Amino acid sequence: MSMNVSQVTVTTAAGSNKSLGEYKGNVLLIVNVASRCGFTKQYKALQALEDNYGSKGFKVLGFPCNDFGGQEPGTVDEIKEFCSSTFGAKFEIFSKVHAKGNTTEPYTTLNQSNPPGDVQWNFEKFLIGKDGQILNRFKSNVDPSSTELKQAIEEALNN
């Protein structure tokens, strides 16, 4: 079953509701981010992806998550400041979420995609097509600069 995120409502960093359907026509990479993780350096590469593909309709959406090792203890404002000052990350950061167990959106929906199951760690990535369909799921150790991920993004942008 292919999953679609167009009907999913998430909470912005400012605390308001936003439908992921508002991104229709863009390719999205949804990532659960954390500031104190071994993978935190991926922020820089995630921003590079948005810089590289943004003009073609690609966006990175970051969802801070403290579910894994308590590696995202800060407030959303602290997280955003850390990301921009440390890694130059300017992509959109949302309100904190739960990606495992008693999940919150978008993960309640994303975790049903193929293969189904809770996110395993920080920086797991979900590639979303222009129509809101979940196209692919990449584990934390798949670097944003990897050929595998870039090819999947390019393919989604060309469809």
Burial per residue of 56-83, b for 16 or more beta-carbon CB atoms within 10 angstroms, e otherwise? eebbbbbbbbbbbeebbebebeebbebb
Residue 105 Cα distances to 16, 94, 113, 155, angstroms: 14, 11, 13, 26
Given 33, 37, 89, 128, which residue is catalytic?
Answer: 37
Looking at domain 9-158, its CATH superfamily turns out to be Glutaredoxin (3.40.30.10)
pLDDT digits (tens, 9 = 90+) for 65-112: 999 999 999 999 999 999 999 999 999 999 999 999 999 999 999 999
Render pLDDT for 99-108 as a digit per residue (tens, 0 to 9).
999 999 999 9
Relative to beta strand 17-19, strand 27-33 is unpaired
Query: With bands split at pLDDT 50, 70 and 90, how would you rate the model's confidence at 115?
Result: confident
Do residues 118 and 65 lie in contact, with contact meaning Cβ atoms separated by under 8 Å? no
User: pTM for the complete prediction?
Assistant: 0.97
Retrieve residue 52's tokens. 């590289």
pLDDT given for residue 104 in this prediction = 95
Provide the token pair at 93. 């950061």
Q: Where are the domains of the chain?
A: 9-158
Identify whether 37 is a catalytic site residue.
yes
Residues 6-27 have pLDDT tens digits of 999 999 999 999 999 999 999 9
Residue 44 has pLDDT above 80, yes or no: yes
Strands of the chain, DSSP E: 9-11, 17-19, 27-33, 58-64, 92-93, 125-128, 134-138
Give the whole-number percent of the chain exceeding pLDDT 70. 99
